[in-house]
Structure 1
Amino acid sequence: MPLTLDDVRAPHSRLLEVISGSRAYGTDTPTSDHDFKGVFIQPADSFLGLSPTDQVSDARNDSVFFELGRFADLLAKNNPNLLEMLFTPPDCTIFRHPLMDSFTPAMVLSKRCCDAFAGYAIAQIRKARGLNKKIVNPQPPQRRPITDFCHVLENAGSVPLLPWLANRGLQQHHCGLTAIPHAPHTFALFHSPDAQLPGIAEPDSSSLRLASIPLGTAPIAWLVFGNDAWQRHCREWREYHEWTSLRNESRFTSTIDHGMGYDAKNLMHTFRLLDAAEEIARHGRLSVRSPNRSWLLDVRAGKFPYNDLVALAESRIATIEHLFAHSSLPDHPDLDAINRTVISIRRQWYRIPATQPCGNAFAD
C-alpha cells in the first residue's frame, strides 16, 4: 500500500519535520499558509520491495516529505528547498532525529549553490509575470464551442462559420462535412434540411462530425477548422480553471489590490533567495530566517515597480556570480560523504551491522 503522511510522521519513519515557507523565513503575515516539510526513511520491506516511495505529500503540497535517498540526492544538487530544510532554525523544527546531524554544511554547501539559487531566482521573476497573464486574460465559465474555430472561405478571405450561416438563414444541424484529401483541417460544407445530415458539431463536442454525402452532390462552401487555436483555447481554459480551483485566494487578492500586475510574493522570494546565495558565497553558511524582513515585506506589498525590481535582481545576480567565482567553497558537494552518510543512517535504522553487507534483494 502507498505510504501516507501519517505513515511517514510515525516514529518508525520520521527523521525530520520542519515548518517551512514564510513562517520559517520570517516573512509571514497573519494570512500566511502553514507549510511543512520533512524527511522519512521507508520501512525495510517497502525500501527493498518493487515499489519504493520517494515522496509523500497532500493534494496542495502544504505538507511534503522526502524519503532519505531522495532528500540526499537533492542535497547533492544543492536544491534550495532541501538545503533550507536542513538548516531550518530550532524554533521552526518540529522534530529532528540526531542522525540528521550527520549532514554537515561542509558536506553539502558548494559553488553549485550559485546556479541553484540564482537560477531559481530567475525562474521566480518569470513566474511573477506569468500570473499576470491569467489575471488579464480570464477564461469564461464554459469552454467555447468548437464551431467558434470554424471559418468559411469566401472570396480572397474567410468569415466565421456561425455568422456566415445566420446571414443565409441556415442551421448548422442541417449541415454536413466531408474531409478534403491532402488538405488538413479543410472540409467541404453541405446543407440540406431534408437529407438528415449529422450537423457540424454538438455544443460541447471536442471534434467535428463527418457526414456521408452522395457522390456528385455539390458543396455550398469550403470550411477551414483552426485546430491549433482550438487546442490552445482548450489548454488555456483548462489551466485557468485548474488555477482558480487551487489558487490561494488571499494571495490572489493581494496581487490584484497592489495593482502592479505581477505576483509580488514570487519577487519577494527572489530577493530572499539572492540574500541566501550571497551569504553562502561570503560566509559558507545558510541562514533560513531572512535579516531583511521589512524590505522583503515591502516587495511583497507591491511597493516597487516590476522593472526596477528586475534590474536590481540582475545586478545582485552579477555580484553573486562574482562572489562564488572567488569563493573558497568546493566546486560541488562531497558526494562520497553524502553517500556514506545515507548508508550509515540506513544501517543504523535497519540495524544492519557495519560488517554485514546489505546484499541483493533479488538474490536466490
Structure 2
Amino acid sequence: MDIQALKDKLNSKEYDFLRKDSHLGDNILILTTGGSIAYGTNVDTSDIDIRGVTLENKQDIMGLSDFEQFEDKSTDTVIYGLKKFILLCINCNPNVLEILGTKQEHLLVISKEGELLRDNVELFLSKRAIQSFGSYATAQLRRLQNALARDNYPHSEKEQHILNSILSQMEHLQRSYKSFTNKEISLYIDKSDRQDMDTEIFIDVNLKHYPLRDFKNIYSDMNNIVKDYSKLNHRNSKKDELHLNKHAMHLIRLLVTGTEILKGKGVTTYREKERAFFLDIRSGKYSYTEIFEMVDDYENEFKLAAANTALPDKPDYKRIEELMLDIYSTTLP
C-alpha cells in the first residue's frame, strides 16, 4: 500500500481511536507500519499492521492507574506505553526494536521525543540480542519443522516437538517477565489419562508472590505455541502452504536482522537488499530442503557474529533511565 494512502486511511472512522482514546492522540510519540509492510515483504493480500509508542498520562506514572499498551484487534494496531516499550527494548525484543528501525517514510506520526528514541536505539542493543533473535528464529524453525512432520509420526513424537518448542522459549520468557527458575515452572512429558493420548505435556508450577499479569503472559505465550503447532500441522490447502512459506521467510529475516545487530550495524527493519529473495521464499520458489540448507548458512553467520560481537553484555541502564527522564520531564505537565 502507498504510504500516503495509508496515512489517509488512518484519518478514517475505522481509526478514530487514534484521536479519541485518552492514552493516544497527542500522547503518541511514534506511529509506524508493522509486519510485512514494515519489512518490505508485503503482497496485495497483506494486512495493515500499525505499531507505535505512546506516553502514559500523569495518573499512570504517579497514581493508581496502570497502562502498558493499547490494542485494537480489528485493525491490528498495537501501541505500547513508553515504560513497557523501553523495558521490552532493554531485552532486545525483536517486535519492539523494529519500531525504532522502520523507514523514515513509514513513520505515520513522529514527535521530537519519538525521534529521540529512534536516534538512541544503540542504547538498547546488547548481547541479549543473541538470545532474543536466536530464540525467535529457533521458534520459527520449530514451527516449520512441526508443520512438516509426517502424518504417520506417533503422537508421542509430535508431543515432544511441542515441548521442544516451548523449552526453546524458556530463557526468552525468563528475560521478558519476572525471572523464575526451571524448578518453579517445569514442563515434562508423562503418561496421559486422556483416551486419545498415550502421553502429554505436563507442567509443575511452584511460584510465590509472582505477578499475576506476568504469569498470564507466560501461559499465553506457551499456549500460542501449542495452538500454532495445531494450526500448522494440519496442512491441506494451498493457503496452508503459503502460510508455511511465510514462516520460512520470517525465520531467515530474523537471522539476517539479528546478525546485523550483533555486527554493530544497528536495526534495519525494511529489508531492501533481501526483499526480492524474501518474496521468492514467500511465493514458494524454494523447496523446504533448500530452505533448511539456507537456514543452516544464515544460522552459522548469526553464531559467528554472536561469538565476535562488540556489543555489551547488557544495556547501559543509567543512560536509558536518563533518556526516559528527559522524555517525561519535557512532556508531562
TM range (shorter): 0.5 to 0.7
Q: Distance in 2 between matches of 1:340 and 1:95?
A: 24
Q: Distance in 2 between matches of 1:255 and 1:295?
A: 20
Q: Distance in 2 between matches of 1:15 and 1:254?
A: 40
Q: Distance in 2 between matches of 1:120 and 1:44?
A: 35
TM-score for the superposition, normalised by structure 1: 0.60
TM-score for the superposition, normalised by structure 2: 0.65
Tell me whether 1:36 sits opposite 2:50 in the alignment: yes
| Partner in structure 2 of residue 125 of structure 1 | 141
Tell me whether 1:229 sits opposite 2:180 in the alignment: no
- Describe the SS at the equivalent of 2:277: helix
How far 1:308 moved relative to its partner? 3.3
Identify the match of residue 87 of structure 1 among 87, 101, 123: 101
Which structure 2 residues correspond to residues 16-27 of structure 1 after superposition, within 5 A? 16-27=30-41
How far 1:322 moved relative to its partner? 1.6
How far 1:85 moved relative to its partner? 0.2
Q: Distance in 2 between matches of 1:346 and 1:38?
A: 17
Change beyond 3 A, Cα 1:298–1:8: farther
Tell me whether 1:110 sits opposite 2:130 in the alignment: no
How far 1:229 moved relative to its partner? 3.0
Q: Distance in 2 between matches of 1:254 and 1:272?
A: 23
Tell me whether 1:339 sits opposite 2:321 in the alignment: yes
Give the aligned residue type for 1:88: T
Q: Distance in 2 between matches of 1:58 and 1:131?
A: 29
Q: Distance in 1 between matches of 2:327 and 2:237?
A: 45
Change beyond 3 A, Cα 1:286–1:8: farther
- Describe the SS at the equivalent of 2:53: strand
* 1:134-193 C-alpha deviation (Å, 9 max, x unpaired): x99xxxxxxxxxxxxxxxxxxxxxxxxxxxxxxxxxxxxxxxxxxxxxxxxxxxxxxxxx
| Partner in structure 2 of residue 273 of structure 1 | 254
Which structure 2 residues correspond to residues 291-330 of structure 1 after superposition, within 5 A? 291-330=273-312
How far 1:252 moved relative to its partner? 9.3
Q: Percent identity?
A: 27
Aligned-pair RMSD on alpha carbons?
Answer: 3.5
Contact 2:133 2:254 in 1 (8 A): yes
Identify the match of residue 49 of structure 1 among 63, 69, 91: 63
Contact 1:20 1:92 in 2 (8 A): no
- Describe the SS at the equivalent of 2:44: coil
Contact 2:256 2:302 in 1 (8 A): no
Change beyond 3 A, Cα 1:309–1:257: closer
Structure with larger Rg: 1
How far 1:111 moved relative to its partner? 2.3
Give the aligned residue type for 1:334: D
Contact 1:8 1:40 in 2 (8 A): no
Structure 2 unmatched ranges of 5 or more: 1-16, 153-191, 199-222
